[in-house]
Amino acid sequence: MLEAGASDWVVFPRNRGYPGEEAYFLHVIVEMVSGAVAASGEVEAPALQAWTTQRHAQIERGELVYLAHQLDFVGRR
């Protein structure tokens, strides 16, 4: 490993909305999570649909906050 570092994402509403394309980004993240959970079969479809619908509504109302902590690595083999 040559380098490692944090790559955190923090998306939050300002004045009941999101700047730039952040609302679009959040909708994409919600759909990606929903699709992955659906594919796993671990959550019943009605519960997952309710969760997905609620998250999209929160985005539309400017209420959803998204935090992701990631670690990026680069190395040589």
**pLDDT score for 16:** 84
Q: What is the pTM of this model?
A: 0.85
* Residues 6 or more apart in contact with residue 56 via CB below 8 angstroms: 27, 30
**pLDDT score for 10:** 96
**pLDDT score for 56:** 98
Structural domain boundaries in the chain: 3-74
Chain segment 20-77, per-residue pLDDT in tens? 999 999 999 999 999 999 999 999 999 999 999 999 999 999 999 999 999 999 999 9
**pLDDT score for 57:** 98
* Residues 6 or more apart in contact with residue 22 via CB below 8 angstroms: 11
